[in-house]
Amino acid sequence: MIIRIDYDSDFKTAILSPEDKDEWKWITLTRMLYDSVPGIVKKGDNLYIPIRRFLSVRYTIADYSGNHGIKVVLTNAIKEFLREANKQSYTTATKKTALSEEYVKSRLEKVGFKRKLTDNQLANLCKIGALPAGATFSVPGAGKTTEALAYFFLNAEEDDKLLVVAPKNAFGAWDEQLESCMQRSDYSFVRLRGGEARIDLLLRESPKFAIITYQQYPRVAELIQHYLEHNQVFMFLDESHRIKSGRAGISAEAILGASYLPKQKLIMSGTPMPQSQKDLVPQFTFLYPDRIVNEDTAISLIQPIYVRTTSGQLGIPEVEHRLVSLEMSPLQREIYTSIKSETKRQLIPMLSDLSRVSLRDINKKIMKVMQFVSNPALLARDMEYIFDERIGELLLHDSGPKITYACQRARELASEGKKVIIWSQFVENVELIAERLKDIGADYIHGGVDAGDEDEDDTREWKIKEFHKNPNKMVLVANPAAASEGISLHTVCQYAIYVDRSFNAAHYLQSEDRIHRLGLKEDQIPIVEIVECKDSIDEVIRQRLETKVAVMAAALNDPSLDIGTVRYDVDFESDEDDITTDDINAIARYFGDS
Task: List, for residues 373-421, the tens digit of each pLDDT value.
Answer: 999 888 766 656 555 666 666 665 567 899 999 999 999 999 999 999 9
Average pLDDT on 29-40 reads 85
Buried b (16+ CB within 10 A) or exposed e, 53-92: bbbbbbeebeebbeeeebebebeeebeebbeebeebebee
pLDDT of 303 strictly over 50: yes
Asked if 246 and 365 sit in the same domain, the reply is no
Mean pLDDT of 439-456: 89
* Mean pLDDT, range 15-40, rounded to an integer: 88
137 inside domain:
yes
Residue 358 has what pLDDT? 66
CA distance 52 to 260: 6
Q: Specify if 92 maps to a domain.
A: no
82 and 186 both lie in a single domain? no
In this structure, the number of other CB atoms found within 10 A of the CB of residue 465 comes to 15
Lowest mean pLDDT among 78-82, 149-153, 237-241: 78-82
pLDDT reported for residue 532: 96
Confidence band for 227, pLDDT divided at 50, 70 and 90: very high
Q: Are residues 356 and 379 in the same domain?
A: yes
Residues 82 and 55 occupy one common structural domain: yes
Same structural domain, 164 and 127: yes
Q: What is the pLDDT of residue 586?
A: 83
Spatial contact of 327 and 398, defined as CB atoms under 8 Å apart: no
Q: How many CB atoms lie within 10 A of CB 287?
A: 27
**Which residue has better confidence, 571 or 49?**
49
Mean pLDDT value across residues 261-265: 94
Q: What is the pLDDT of residue 577?
A: 53
Q: Which of 86, 118, 137 is the last residue of a domain?
A: 86
Separation CA 234–CA 155 (nearest Å) = 9
For all residues of the chain together, what is the average pLDDT?
89
Confidence bin at 576 (pLDDT 50/70/90): very low
The answer to whether residue 166 sits within a structural domain is yes
- Stretch 123-143: mean pLDDT: 94
Q: Mean pLDDT: which of 37-51, 74-88, 107-121, 331-345 is highest?
A: 107-121
Q: State yes or no: pLDDT of 200 exceeds 80.
A: yes
Could you tell me if 104 and 67 lie in one domain? no
pLDDT score recorded for residue 379: 77
Give 339-353 pLDDT, tens digit per residue.
898 888 888 877 766
pLDDT confidence band for 245 (50 / 70 / 90): confident
- How far, CA to CA in Å, does 409 sit from each of 174, 397, 418, 421, 425? 37, 20, 11, 11, 19
pLDDT winner (highest mean) among 98-102, 399-403, 455-459, 507-511 = 98-102
% residues pLDDT > 90 (the chain): 60
CA distances 94 to 89, 134, 357, Å, are: 9, 10, 39
Number of domains composing the chain: 3
Mean pLDDT of 25-45: 87
**How far is it, in rounded angstroms, from Cα 533 to Cα 558?**
31
Q: C-alpha angle with apex 197: 192 to 200, nearest 5 degrees?
A: 55
C-alpha distances out from residue 549 to 139, 479, 509, 563, Å? 13, 20, 9, 7
CATH of the domain at 71: 3.30.780
Q: Is residue 91 part of a domain?
A: no
Q: Are residues 520 and 467 in the same domain?
A: yes
Helical pair 221-229 and 196-204, crossing angle rounded to 10 deg: 10
123 and 34 part of one domain: no
* Domain containing residue 295: 97-309
Q: How confident is the model at residue 104 (pLDDT cuts 50, 70, 90)?
A: very high
Q: What pLDDT sits at residue 191?
A: 96
Flag whether the pTM goes above 0.95: no
**115 lies in the same domain as 76:** no
Closest CA to 28 of 68, 56, 55, 75: 68
Whether residue 265 lies inside any domain: the answer is yes
Q: Which residue has the higher pLDDT, 39 or 417?
A: 417
Q: Within its chain, how far is the Cα of 428 from the centroid?
A: 25
Q: pLDDT category, 357, cuts 50, 70, 90?
A: low
45 belongs to a structural domain: yes
Last residue of a domain, one of 51, 86, 121: 86
Please tell me whether residues 41 and 148 are part of one structural domain: no
Of 30-39, 42-51, 318-327, 537-546, give the lowest mean pLDDT range.
30-39
Q: Is the pLDDT of residue 486 over 80?
A: no
Relative orientation angle of helices 356-374 and 581-592, to the nearest 10 degrees: 60
Task: CATH number of the domain at 382, please.
Answer: 3.40.50.300
Question: How far, in whole angstroms, is CA 110 from its chain's centroid?
Answer: 34
- Top pLDDT among 75 and 335 is at 75
Residue 208 domain flag: yes
H, E, C per residue of 183-251:
CCCCCCCEECCCCHHHHHHHHHCCCCEEEECCCCHHHHHHHHHHHHHCCCEEEEEECHHHHCCHHHCHH
Within a 10 A sphere around the Cβ of 101, how many other Cβ atoms?
A: 14
Task: Based on the fold, state whether residues 57 and 173 are members of the same structural domain.
Answer: no
Q: Are residues 405 and 516 in the same domain?
A: yes
Let me know if residue 315 belongs to a domain.
Answer: no
- 178: domain CATH number? 3.40.50.10810
The count of other CB atoms within 10 Å of the CB of residue 8 is 13
Burial of 320 (0-12, 13-18, 19+ CB in 10 A): middle
**pLDDT of 135 above 50:** yes
Question: Cα(276)–Cα(136) distance, rounded to whole angstroms?
Answer: 18
Q: In the structure, what pLDDT confidence band is assigned to residue 250 with cuts at 50, 70 and 90?
A: confident
